[in-house]
Structure 1
């Protein structure tokens, strides 16, 4: 029905926004039928965006003021970036390639000081204050990020930070598809993107509104960025695409949980350690905010980006713990990660640290994440409780597996 309500002749920002919302609701509902609907919009959105950008090149009226023209262009850019992120999230969730790439003509979103101006006078003042502090494209910023001889880019803005981390995540996923992980080219590019992610964090921290709270007065955009950052770090060292394809194929939860056991643990190294730290920090955020309260009252209103990210964090940590359970040569950072997890699990579970430090810490971690995802009665995103059940089944499988 939703597909019949729109057609390829629909034009304008409002048509793009409508298709984007319909795609999002269909993609995260957790049913095969709705996912099929989301995929029908998938290609239409990419086509419609190209059409709107082509029209925007010659669509200005002679009577249009500079501010009105800027607003129209900026609105198209921001809707494009939102759809770009949505399609990247669908790639993370279902391993479905995005048909949309950021192009040079898309540029970067303007800073919030310009976008939030209420009058043309306020906008003109914000533009004067910005001066030449504009960036032509996401790729230009990435090239600046990886050059450690240059200062970290500034004046990116909250939404700009979000666009950039989504852009980096897409590049990392495409890298994993393009060459074997033991290939020299892959290893060189992994160092490239690892450097970009670390410097992106510095850029994010320099934003005045940077926050790890979903209730920030300026909105949760920068908080949502952290979810994409963690997926990006994890995808540099682990490949969960086969698991994600099972979601798209509507495989049973038992079958998906069983397939997780076949996934290899990440190879130890600095990049894996950084990914494990990010996953550990992700678990600490709801714990510090009040785990049970967040799980029962707040998590269902957080962006679905966090649910997708936390699922990958759970898999990464469980595999990392299994691989390092009997290791006697852990680095100082690796030992700190285990200690952080023991403390976090003990705090969130109301149990002693002794329990958290048992040989089944990987199981406890999985169950904690699953507890957060149990939102059947409160969320319209039914993919979340599905992920909870998968993690619980996988945790039970590990509990019943004899240890060496």
Structure 2
């Protein structure tokens, strides 16, 4: 942000002065700091803004305000973030009101091309929704829900299907086309995260999003046109369409789909959200909390197909700092959550934005325990839950606690919460039923893997007054250890309040778990 760009932003805001009242914008320095925070730490997690061709002077003001609001929160400057959020929201809603009015009167929108304005409006609304989603504040989360309708207006106005674009178009046109795809795809994902995190009914269904999957990281990250041309030369086939690819994953013909080309990391992320929505919808029509065996088999196969596809994607990595970005790493966290959701529906119990940590913990205690006798699918869910725990242990619990290095707040936090609850409840159930002696080899392998992770966790972290001497003693104490470790991982402050809520809730739930064990 420069003084000239800030002046340009202020001039654009003049047409909304009646709606904004007496708002006082932050200084040029503050804008620079906030936008830098967004670009340096958040843009790679939310890859729907094409930074190489981004020009702030060409952006509608609410998009600039939304990006700065997100960056301000990342810098722990909540007051500035909220000021920018509400200013951006006010302008975004006013612009949509004016757009609807002009549509009725058949008047053209002044300034930017109308289609470009609509997609920028969608981008601004999506960014505002991202910020509000992870606030753990009931009023702000409700504001995120209120933005569903205007966001859907923008998406439908621009169209939820894309025409096949020529691959040899120039860079700027390609970037605009790909941005459109990514904004709509990421909107589907974030609206689906509202279903996952807050049990909100779906707003946008997978079959409505008839778009090509997002392009490769190399194409998207190209900083100059010649780099983009080189990346395009390696593209033999354009990406497949989202609904077609999702149907291939859900195919029950026993064959693992050979997707050509392999989806990009973001493409895999979008596909996984499609599977998560499918799991949610199947649960909505299920008669009992335990899904039908045939549904479990189909969903397990689909998730296994997805994992195979992820492995075949050359840009996939389990390194959160990989040069291709953290999306592939984030997807694996959501894969664990998806496996858990097939067997345990925790979503309706949490109320993360509407309850205090003690209330969340009490609700988690009421979640029914999973079945003790485990199928192949359930064993997979247990192993993914252990894998989730192994990541902060392998990197270093104390390092993760003090840097939150591997957790861009929320999606990892949500996945970790559900994996922790599922694994601990299974361990509690087999302990209460004294079923360890009747375990099959797969279940024994689960305990073996968990014991290895816990051994490393006990020896490497600073546990202070927490007694770890019994953590490896039996299944019950292993369950307690799982909860204590996760609550420790999320024990420090975070820029994103929902992560703090999850950490406090797990700590209280661990106390409840331990007290219940005393009565066994």
Q: What TM-score do you get using the length of structure 1 for normalisation?
A: 0.88
**Structure 1 Cα separation of the partners of residues 340 and 448 of structure 2:** 20
After the TM superposition, list the runs of 4 or more consecutive aligned residues in structure 1 that deviate by more than 6 angstroms: 54-57
Task: Measure how far apart 1:391 and its partner are.
Answer: 1.1
2:256·2:305 contact (CA, 8 Å) conserved in 1?
Answer: no
Matched, 1:362 2:466: no
User: Which residue does 2:279 correspond to in 1?
Assistant: 172
Distance 1:77 1:362, change over 3 A: same
**Structure 1 Cα separation of the partners of residues 217 and 503 of structure 2:** 36
User: Which residue does 1:5 correspond to in 2?
Assistant: 91
User: Which residue does 1:392 correspond to in 2?
Assistant: 507
**Structure 1 Cα separation of the partners of residues 478 and 307 of structure 2:** 29
Distance 1:74 1:362, change over 3 A: same
The structure whose RCO (Cα within 8 Å, separation 6+) is larger is 1
User: Which residue does 1:160 correspond to in 2?
Assistant: 267
Alignment of 1:139-288 (within 5 A): 139-143=244-248, 146=251, 147-149=253-255, 151-154=257-260, 155-181=262-288, 186-244=292-350, 246-248=351-353, 250-267=354-371, 268-288=374-394
119-128 or 235-244: bigger deviation: 119-128
Please provide the CA RMSD for this pair: 2.7
2:160·2:209 contact (CA, 8 Å) conserved in 1?
Answer: no
**Structure 2 Cα separation of the partners of residues 317 and 288 of structure 1:** 19
Matched, 1:342 2:451: yes
Listed one character per residue, the Cα deviations across residues 319-348 of structure 1 (whole Å, up to 9, x for unaligned) are 110112221211212112222222222321
Task: Measure how far apart 1:308 and its partner are.
Answer: 0.7
Listed one character per residue, the Cα deviations across residues 266-298 of structure 1 (whole Å, up to 9, x for unaligned) are 123222111111000000011111111112113
Distance 1:299 1:42, change over 3 A: farther
Of 109, 115, 124, the match for 2:214: 109
**Structure 1 Cα separation of the partners of residues 367 and 349 of structure 2:** 9
Task: Measure how far apart 1:27 and its partner are.
Answer: 1.4
Q: Secondary structure at the match of 1:9?
A: helix
**Structure 1 Cα separation of the partners of residues 256 and 425 of structure 2:** 37
**Structure 1 Cα separation of the partners of residues 182 and 380 of structure 2:** 31
**Structure 2 Cα separation of the partners of residues 341 and 65 of structure 1:** 52
**Structure 1 Cα separation of the partners of residues 393 and 320 of structure 2:** 13
Distance 1:321 1:126, change over 3 A: same
127-136 or 192-201: bigger deviation: 127-136
**Structure 1 Cα separation of the partners of residues 405 and 234 of structure 2:** 38
List gaps (5 residues or longer) in structure 2. Answer: 1-85, 97-116, 461-467
Matched, 1:100 2:204: yes
Distance 1:16 1:345, change over 3 A: same
**Structure 2 Cα separation of the partners of residues 213 and 148 of structure 1:** 31
List gaps (5 residues or longer) in structure 1. Answer: none
**Structure 2 Cα separation of the partners of residues 144 and 356 of structure 1:** 39
Q: Secondary structure at the match of 2:93?
A: coil
